[in-house]
Amino acid sequence: MQSPIGGGSGRCDMLSIVAPCSRCRMTKLSSAFATVVPKAAEQLLVEPFERWAEAIGLSQFDLLGHSFGGFVCTAWAARDSSKIRRLGLLSPLLGFSEERISRFTPKVGAPWQARLLHCVLEAAWTCHLTPQSIVRWVPGAKGWLERASKRRFQSFASDVTEEEGRLLSEYVIATMDMPSSTEHSATVCFEPFLRPAAVEGGTIKQRLARLQLPVFAVYGDRDWMDQAAPEE
């Protein structure tokens, strides 16, 4: 049996199965992530899925995760891989490389605007503000992001029609505009600019490398997620 876990933009559907009151559960999770450390955040993310798998009697299964779901699946497998036959990762969010992060850091003598933007982004991450927060709170941001994402889908993806680009854009913005759930965990599990946070056992990439089970990863030819380098 396959157990897919998707990205982290919207609500976590499996939690509604596990929790008696999904809306209350989401509210508790959103506030909880503001005060926890990375290890505890991973526990909050993974334990509901572990309970769900146990409740429906999954003994051996293939685990497939996309985007932030790839991070959750990797953390799950690193905690206990005894029931997981194979781990599949589709454009998984495992953190940016140091080389990529260095491109975000203003160099000596950089314009003050670049240094200010860097400070603002770092402060926003520290305060657990996410792109989804901007969509919900900033007037006009939802419409601007919808138009920008539509242009992005049409310019970067192959063979995407105008109608398909519009539908994809509406889907992305609709998930971002939903009530917050586990999205704030990314600002705990990763340091600013998506640098993987180290917990007991190492970063998520290091723990993935030590897994003793079949693992495969799939990336797009124009993927914004970084593939882990061999040294990572």
Residue 155 to residue 44: CA distance in whole angstroms: 38
Q: For strand 84-90 and strand 215-218, is the pairing parallel, antiparallel, or unpaired?
A: parallel
Higher per-residue confidence, 156 vs 88: 88
- Tell me how far apart the alpha carbons of residues 95 and 2 are, in angstroms, rounded to a whole number: 25
Statement: residue 80 has pLDDT above 50:
yes
pLDDT > 70? residue 103: yes
Q: Model confidence over 158-217: pLDDT tens digits?
A: 677 888 878 888 888 888 888 877 788 888 889 888 888 888 888 999 999 999 999 999
Written as one string, the DSSP assignment of 67-92 is THHHHHHHHHHHH--TTEEEEEEES-
Summarised one tens digit per residue, pLDDT across range 205-220 is: 999 999 999 999 998 8
- Tokens 């991070």 belong to which residue? 71
Share of the chain above pLDDT 90, in %: 28
Q: List phi, psi (to 5°) of 3.
A: -125, 95
Q: Which among 124, 102, 95, 122 is positioned nearest to 224, based on CA atoms? A: 95
Total residues belonging to the chain: 232
Q: How many CB atoms are located within 10 Å of the residue 38 CB?
A: 20
What is the reported pLDDT for 19?
A: 40
14 pLDDT band (50/70/90 cuts)? Answer: very low
**For residue 216, how many other CB atoms are within 10 A of its CB?**
10
**What is the pTM for the complete model shown?**
0.76
228 pLDDT band, cuts 50/70/90, is low
